[in-house]
Structure 1
Amino acid sequence: MTEYFLQAFIYLTAAVIAVPLANKLGLGSVLGYLIAGVVIGPIVGLVGSETNTIQHFAEFGVVMMLFLVGLELEPKMLWAMRNRLLGLGGLQVVGSVVAVMACAIYAGYQLSIALTIGLIFSLSSTAIVLQTLSEKRLNKTHAGQNAFSVLLFQDIAVIPMLAFIPLLALPELVDKAQAAVNSMSEQHEQLSLVASLPGWAYAIVLVLAIGTVVLGGHYLSRPLFKMVAESGAREISTAAALMLVIGIAALMSLVGISPALGTFLAGVVLANSEFKHELEANIGPFKGLLLGLFFITVGAGIDFTVLFADFAEIIAITLSVMLIKASVLYLLALIFRIKGSDRWLFALCLAQAGEFGFVLLSFSVQQHVIPTDLAQTLSIVVALSMFLTPGLFILFDKVIYPRFQVKTNQREQDSIDDEGTVIIAGIGRFGQVVNRFLISNNIKTVVLDYQVSQVDTIRRINTKAYYGDATRPDLLKTAGIEQASLFVVAIDNRESSVELVKYLHNTYPKLKIVARAFDRGHGHLLKEAGADVVESETHHSALELSLSSLQLLGHSEEYVLRRKATYKRVEKEASKRLYDFWLKESAGERFSNDFIKLFMLYEERLKQAMDEDNAAHQQDIDNQNDANAKQTNDSNSDIQS
């Protein structure tokens, strides 16, 4: 037991030290984990033979990651991306296999080994690429979305690869390792439900397993998580989420399907579930920790003895594989019209080999397709290519992307020779309305926007605007930030807007700041950062549309105005209480269960207030009717008299 505690302490300490340092240096957390593994493994020797065992456990982080990715994809979205999934993903795998196989044959390997090497190196690292794209906020770019399509196809393609590789077995390797194979086969039979089944029965079992995941996820998960949520025990909610993922992974393994694919499918099924965000919150920390552990084991597992024995050859193979894959990807980017810097990002981010490469290598050795010594060399090539991937992202960030920015913008930032009472950052559809209203009230503004096309469009309608990045302190000074009274934040990037508000609040404490929010969560972040006033971009327009709907349904103008006043009163009270609770309980990160419960209470309060207002309105009508009736009766009495 003491040994396990020491090993856990070593791995966690390495991560805690290396990752923050790597992030501070701009290297990213993935490279930090890999460096930590190299230090505690080959360099210092604090970990050793247990690394391979831990790596198998840590690979479950990839399974969890694909489950969370599936949660973000609705089935309609998956169907919509079928062209990229099959076209781009399929051509990438086929092109990479053919190119790598041709090079391997040229290097003297026989066809079966060359084809297996091509299959292994055709796969990229889902864990590294998605993690890094997410960290750098590139997952929503055109390159990021296409990269995800390719990675998804690769993960699916692992299954037919595992079925095909045994057909390439070499007779000489079979005879050499027969005893070990028999022992391993017995072990697999004990852990498999399909090992001795005929082909038709195996197909039925696969259909039943997938059907269980789909139907169970759709019909059984909802009552399960509803029951768990009603219990109010957070630890049981976390346990239920882990039970779901682990259970599906185990079922898929027992029937010979990739656990990662199975959990991904479950995630897609649950994408429309009301418990989606709860699952993300519970699984997220485990996913991050296990992925980090996986990357540490990759670094710790590099055999420097084999590396230094054939250093030049291994480096040459690694660089050649990455160059071949990048070339195939760049060609596909041209064919599929991925433009500008996205083309380079797409080609570079998928140029490495992937974690499933280790799985295929191990399986190929077990199936006597690749000799053990060659597998060791190829394993180092896979690890090194993964190790070099963060460097490719740095190359893109520091060298390629800036060049495309200059080329796209076609000019340097404007020199600002003007000052105003109000500075507006962002002149999109929201900022335009603010600017027009202020100018019409004789308030002088200085407008900044980082989109050249937007600035040029605004200038065509005789509105003065300057091209420049409002997050740059030097540009703000030239725009007269020190003399300005008010700053309007209306830029279209959530994270940048929060950082800008934080900078303005800390640097110019007397400056009043108003900011546009995309939603309630973004509004809370802006308010926490120091904004004096935060307005949702859709709140007022949605409210006005709702009021117009009431009028079209036949309600009087007086009725509608009363409803508007009631709504605004309750919303104002709720917004303050919800923000205070979020700030205190949620640590500014995400909406907790308690926050959601409080929000639902205010939804009930809104309904109650509307009912009370309706009753008061009806009472006013009744009183008015009574008064009118009384007045009519009095008039009739006077006439009769």
Structure 2
Amino acid sequence: MLMAASAPPLLTELAILLVAGTLIAFLSSRFGVLPIVGFLIAGVVIGPGGVGLIGDIDLVDQSADIGVMLLLFTLGIEFSLDRVRRLASLFLGGGAIQVVLTTGIVTAIVAAFGVDWRTSIFTGLLVSLSSTAIVLKVLAERRATTSPMGNMSVALLIFQDLAIVAMVLFVPLLSRQTTGLADVGVALAKAVGIIVAVVFVARTLVPAILRLLARHQSTEVFLLTILAICFGTAYVTSLLDVSISLGAFLAGLMVSESRVAARALGEVMPLQILFSATFFVSIGMLVDARFLASNLPLVIGLALGVVAVKLFATAVAGVLLRQPRAVVVSSAMVLAQIGEFSFVLERAGEEVGLMPAGLQDGTDAFISVAVLLMALGPYSVRFGESLAARFETGDSDDWRDRPLDRSALEPDPGEHEPLRDHAVVNGFGPRARRIVAALELANVPHTVVSMDPAAQQWAAATGRTVVAGDVSRQFIADRAGLRDARVALAVDSPPFAVEQFARVAREHNPEIAVLAWAADSADAADLERDGLVDHVVAERQAALDALIAHALGHFEVPEPDSEAVTHAVLHDDDSEDDRPSP
């Protein structure tokens, strides 16, 4: 029976999508093309407008929706309520200016060609939205999400994602449908009510639940709880006729208020990568390759027009809010494309008889322009950064350097400059605490990585920073700076955990020195046998003494200073428990 059973439709479609998408993305990367662009190209090739490998696009679209949800969920975790509050002037003022101005300019241009004013406004709304998925992906890869340019870009994107709720409700009005302004007001009131409820829950219930789960240190239960918060909140918002994407973003904000936000982000990131790839491939599948080939001059012309309008509108928003020239230029380039939520709005317009620009092939033209600009999006970010660097050197102390809300442009207080040539201490047991104390006394830069809630409490009480999560997760390893570290220490873990940590450290940084503690000489010999660990100690007092000396020696701390630090840290060592912690 098992041999005769056929594969479920979703498995078939996803298997084709992932295999073809991975192969084409790999080939694209060999020619220097960014992965996002490769996924879009893969969608064009395997979609109905290409060779037609995918038959049921609806199933793929459902997976793509999950990708958008997880993308906005991770954005919410990284943002936090405090950061949203600091960016209020940017996303309310700047977002409104950018959306209204873009919509107005496009409406005027389309109407000038004799198109009905309702269709013209609809087209303007489509163009006003930028790609949250593209921008966040590129900013995250360049570690620029919390930079001044990232702050302004993401603030405007948040406004656009909120505005899509009103836009979808407004579209039937343009086609003389029955929806009235009262319905729009009710929907907006629902959205406000949901936001208020989320703020309350985020400040009270969610942090307590996550702290309780973190004490048990069960990765499976923790991940399921995080996903339950994401999908549960999105489902509740959908019941209230509010965007599931907005619900996912609000769920992320709830998690961001917990001390284990970084760990949550690390756990969710692999799923986000998987479903985000599905999303980009699904967008590419919408393109009709034959239409694009036969109307290439028209598509390029429309794309250039869209870029010009969005550059102007975003720049005006930045100037009116008195942002630095470098931030204005780079943000304008980042947002100069059409977003994924424009496809949602386009489908809503199609249901009531509205076509982009009133063209007979308006939908195909719109999709082709949008995907073309999405494919160029990652390169526009790079170009924007280079332009910003030129403007930055020419900025003087004038109004451009005095934004209305300077705090909105400053990096998130929770973010720190990445360390280099530092020590990474994995875990926070009794020996790790002494290692950290020794590193602090010797002024050696270091990072602590731990899933232990006690480490988070210690960090909060003392003003220090602990990266909460499993260092085997790529995101957590990046936060800890393993790639640029000089020494990695695992001193409170059983042998199998030490070996896993050593492998992760070597994968990120082959030159790193790995130091460890073992319960006995047999375990120490096993760890050193394969060369994963450079030095293992396996005694009590003498072991920790030697381990501190080895660690400080890698940072060229003079021997007299090293001895003084060791004595200061270990003078009461006998009172501590030396048992390995989980």
TM-score normalised by length of structure 1: 0.59
Write out per-residue CA displacement over residues 239-278 of structure 1, whole angstroms, 9 at most, x where no aligned residue.
2222221111111111111112222223223322133233
Contact kept, 8 Å, 1:516 with 1:534, in 2: the verdict is no
Computing the radius of gyration from Cα coordinates, the structure with the larger value is 1
- The 3-state SS of whatever aligns with 1:257 is coil
**How many angstroms apart in 2 are the aligned matches of 1:250 and 1:137?**
31
**How many angstroms apart in 1 are the aligned matches of 2:123 and 2:224?**
40
Contact kept, 8 Å, 2:187 with 2:242, in 1: the verdict is no
Structure 1 pair 259/405, CA: closer, same or farther in 2 (3 Å)? same
Match of 1:59 in 2: 65
Amino acid aligned to 1:577: V
| Equivalences for residues 45-56 of structure 1 within 5 A | 45-56=51-62
Structure having the higher helix fraction is 1
Structure 1 position 109, deviation (Å): 1.2
| Equivalences for residues 436-475 of structure 1 within 5 A | none
Answer yes or no: is 1:536 the counterpart of 2:445. yes
Contact kept, 8 Å, 2:334 with 2:384, in 1: the verdict is no
Match of 2:14 in 1: 8
Answer yes or no: is 1:364 the counterpart of 2:349. yes
Answer yes or no: is 1:268 the counterpart of 2:253. yes
Match of 1:98 in 2: 104
**How many angstroms apart in 2 are the aligned matches of 1:578 and 1:111?**
69
Write out per-residue CA displacement over residues 594-628 of structure 1, whole angstroms, 9 at most, x where no aligned residue.
x9xxxxxx9xxxxxx99994999xxxxxxxxxxxx
- Residue number among 255, 261, 273 corresponding to 1:288 in the alignment: 273
Answer yes or no: is 1:374 the counterpart of 2:362. yes
Contact kept, 8 Å, 2:111 with 2:117, in 1: the verdict is yes
Contact kept, 8 Å, 1:27 with 1:394, in 2: the verdict is no
Match of 1:179 in 2: none
Structure 1 pair 44/583, CA: closer, same or farther in 2 (3 Å)? farther
Answer yes or no: is 1:577 the counterpart of 2:486. no
- Judge which range, 147-156 or 307-316, deviates more: 307-316
Amino acid aligned to 1:241: I
**How many angstroms apart in 2 are the aligned matches of 1:318 and 1:200?**
34
**How many angstroms apart in 1 are the aligned matches of 2:373 and 2:140?**
20
**How many angstroms apart in 2 are the aligned matches of 1:390 and 1:266?**
27
| Equivalences for residues 24-103 of structure 1 within 5 A | 25-41=31-47, 45-103=51-109
Match of 1:446 in 2: none
Answer yes or no: is 1:165 the counterpart of 2:171. yes
Contact kept, 8 Å, 1:52 with 1:301, in 2: the verdict is no
Match of 1:111 in 2: 117
Structure 1 position 373, deviation (Å): 4.3
Unaligned runs of at least 5 residues, structure 1: 175-184, 186-194, 409-491, 499-514, 525-532, 540-545, 547-572, 596-601, 603-608, 617-641
Structure 1 position 365, deviation (Å): 1.4
**How many angstroms apart in 1 are the aligned matches of 2:367 and 2:328?**
29
**How many angstroms apart in 1 are the aligned matches of 2:161 and 2:27?**
32
**How many angstroms apart in 2 are the aligned matches of 1:308 and 1:352?**
21
Match of 1:240 in 2: 225
Structure 1 position 46, deviation (Å): 4.6
Contact kept, 8 Å, 1:142 with 1:338, in 2: the verdict is no
Greater RCO (Cα-Cα under 8 Å, separation 6 or more): 2
**How many angstroms apart in 1 are the aligned matches of 2:201 and 2:572?**
45
| Equivalences for residues 250-265 of structure 1 within 5 A | 250-265=235-250
- Residue number among 375, 386, 389 corresponding to 1:387 in the alignment: 375
Amino acid aligned to 2:299: I
Structure 1 position 227, deviation (Å): 5.5
**How many angstroms apart in 1 are the aligned matches of 2:354 and 2:321?**
35
Write out per-residue CA displacement over residues 101-148 of structure 1, whole angstroms, 9 at most, x where no aligned residue.
111111221111111111111010000011101112232332221111
| Equivalences for residues 114-129 of structure 1 within 5 A | 114-129=120-135
- The 3-state SS of whatever aligns with 1:90 is helix
Structure 1 position 167, deviation (Å): 0.8
Structure 1 pair 5/241, CA: closer, same or farther in 2 (3 Å)? same
Match of 1:320 in 2: 305
Match of 1:140 in 2: 146
**How many angstroms apart in 2 are the aligned matches of 1:103 and 1:62?**
31
Structure 1 pair 230/576, CA: closer, same or farther in 2 (3 Å)? closer
Contact kept, 8 Å, 1:90 with 1:153, in 2: the verdict is yes
Contact kept, 8 Å, 2:136 with 2:145, in 1: the verdict is yes
**How many angstroms apart in 2 are the aligned matches of 1:259 and 1:368?**
25
- Residue number among 343, 349, 352 corresponding to 2:328 in the alignment: 343
| Equivalences for residues 481-560 of structure 1 within 5 A | 494=418, 498=420, 515-516=421-422, 535-536=444-445
Structure 1 position 338, deviation (Å): 3.9
Structure 1 pair 17/122, CA: closer, same or farther in 2 (3 Å)? same
Contact kept, 8 Å, 2:42 with 2:281, in 1: the verdict is yes
Amino acid aligned to 2:65: E
**How many angstroms apart in 2 are the aligned matches of 1:134 and 1:520?**
25
Structure 1 position 199, deviation (Å): 8.7
**How many angstroms apart in 1 are the aligned matches of 2:123 and 2:197?**
35
Match of 2:290 in 1: 305
**How many angstroms apart in 2 are the aligned matches of 1:248 and 1:337?**
36
Structure 1 position 356, deviation (Å): 0.4
Structure 1 position 152, deviation (Å): 0.9
- Residue number among 162, 173, 176 corresponding to 1:156 in the alignment: 162
Match of 1:477 in 2: none
**How many angstroms apart in 1 are the aligned matches of 2:307 and 2:387?**
17
Contact kept, 8 Å, 1:86 with 1:153, in 2: the verdict is yes
Write out per-residue CA displacement over residues 31-72 of structure 1, whole angstroms, 9 at most, x where no aligned residue.
121122223236851534423541243122222222222222
**How many angstroms apart in 1 are the aligned matches of 2:288 and 2:253?**
39
Contact kept, 8 Å, 2:126 with 2:338, in 1: the verdict is yes
Amino acid aligned to 2:491: R
Match of 1:352 in 2: 337
**How many angstroms apart in 1 are the aligned matches of 2:49 and 2:106?**
32
**How many angstroms apart in 2 are the aligned matches of 1:164 and 1:404?**
39
Structure 1 pair 51/163, CA: closer, same or farther in 2 (3 Å)? same
**How many angstroms apart in 2 are the aligned matches of 1:227 and 1:493?**
30
Structure 1 position 26, deviation (Å): 4.4
Structure 1 pair 107/578, CA: closer, same or farther in 2 (3 Å)? farther
Structure 1 position 80, deviation (Å): 1.6
Unaligned runs of at least 5 residues, structure 2: 1-5, 396-415, 427-431, 433-441, 449-457, 459-486, 509-515, 517-543, 545-567, 576-582
Structure 1 position 385, deviation (Å): 1.9
**How many angstroms apart in 2 are the aligned matches of 1:355 and 1:29?**
17
- Judge which range, 266-275 or 211-220, deviates more: 211-220
Count of matched residue pairs: 436
Match of 1:549 in 2: none
- The 3-state SS of whatever aligns with 1:59 is helix
Amino acid aligned to 1:100: V
Provide the aligned C-alpha RMSD in A. Answer: 4.3
Contact kept, 8 Å, 1:159 with 1:257, in 2: the verdict is yes
Structure 1 pair 407/376, CA: closer, same or farther in 2 (3 Å)? same
TM-score normalised by length of structure 2: 0.64
Structure 1 pair 365/212, CA: closer, same or farther in 2 (3 Å)? same
